[in-house]
């Protein structure tokens, strides 16, 4: 009997272990939807959000997240040149605040670009050629002779003369000129005597 129990004991142990392993394998295999739902639920918790924030603040992760510049450039070009992109930019530039913000953000780059273009002989040649175009000259003359332009110019001049800054500058210039005249007369009278 002892021999039977010695043989029976390892077999029982083997069956128990294999039974446990089989139930773990069945319970451990979650289907895709259950796993997805579980991960999404975890990410929605405060602990999940904190874990994501910690991962994103890690410098090594940040370096790995930097996108390839060519990919970004291609995506931007495709987005900007698409019909929807053109529509978006037209609507966006109708908003004065957006247009002002874009102009301010691009001001230094535009200045550098224009300075570089003015130093480029090819660009300068084309600009001179454009200015010599009789049609453009006629348009400019017509614009300068128009009533609307003259009214606009008159308004700008009036606003400039009414500006306190302009008045202060003119006053300083007149005082300096008066001082120069006084000093000039004194030095002339001193040299003549």
**pLDDT (tens digit per residue) in 143-172:** 889 999 999 999 999 988 888 888 888 899
The answer to whether residues 126 and 80 belong to one domain is: yes
Task: Give the closest residue to 114 by CA, choosing from 102, 123, 105, 126.
Answer: 123
Q: Where are the beta strands (DSSP E) in the chain?
A: none
Residues 118 and 141 in one domain: no
What pLDDT score was predicted for residue 8? Answer: 46
Q: Which residues contact 118 (CB under 8 A, 6 or more apart)?
A: 124
Domain count, the chain: 2
The whole domain housing 112 covers 71-132
Which position has the higher pLDDT, 10 or 37?
Answer: 37
Band of residue 191 on the pLDDT scale cut at 50, 70, 90: low
Q: Looking at the whole model, is its pTM more than 0.75?
A: no
118 plus 160 within the same structural domain: no
CA pair distance 160, 59, nearest whole angstrom: 54
- Has residue 150 been placed in a domain? yes
Model confidence band, residue 178 (pLDDT cutoffs 50, 70, 90): very high
178 assigned to some structural domain: yes
On whether residue 91 sits in a domain, the answer given is yes
Name the residue with tokens 């109708």: 94
* 175 inside domain: yes
In a domain, 94, yes or no: yes
Residues 138 and 128 in one domain: no
């Amino acid at each position: 009997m002892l021999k039977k129990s010695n043989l029976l004991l390892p077999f029982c142990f083997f069956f128990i272990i294999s039974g446990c392993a089989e139930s773990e394998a069945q319970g451990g295999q979650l289907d895709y939807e259950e796993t997805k739902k579980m991960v999404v639920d975890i990410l929605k918790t405060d602990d999940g959000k904190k874990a994501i924030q910690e991962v994103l603040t890690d410098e090594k992760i940040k370096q790995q997240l930097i996108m390839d510049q060519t990919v970004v450039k291609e995506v931007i070009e495709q987005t900007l040149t698409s019909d929807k992109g053109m529509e978006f930019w037209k609507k966006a530039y109708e908003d004065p605040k957006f247009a002002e913000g874009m102009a301010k953000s691009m001001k230094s780059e535009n200045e550098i670009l224009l300075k570089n273009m003015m130093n480029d002989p090819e660009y300068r040649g084309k600009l001179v050629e454009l200015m010599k175009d009789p049609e453009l000259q006629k348009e400019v003359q017509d614009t300068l002779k128009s009533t609307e332009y003259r009214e606009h110019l008159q308004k700008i001049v009036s606003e400039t003369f009414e500006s306190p800054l302009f008045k202060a500058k003119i006053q300083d210039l007149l005082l300096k000129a008066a001082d120069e005249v006084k000093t000039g007369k004194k030095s002339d009278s001193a040299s003549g005597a």
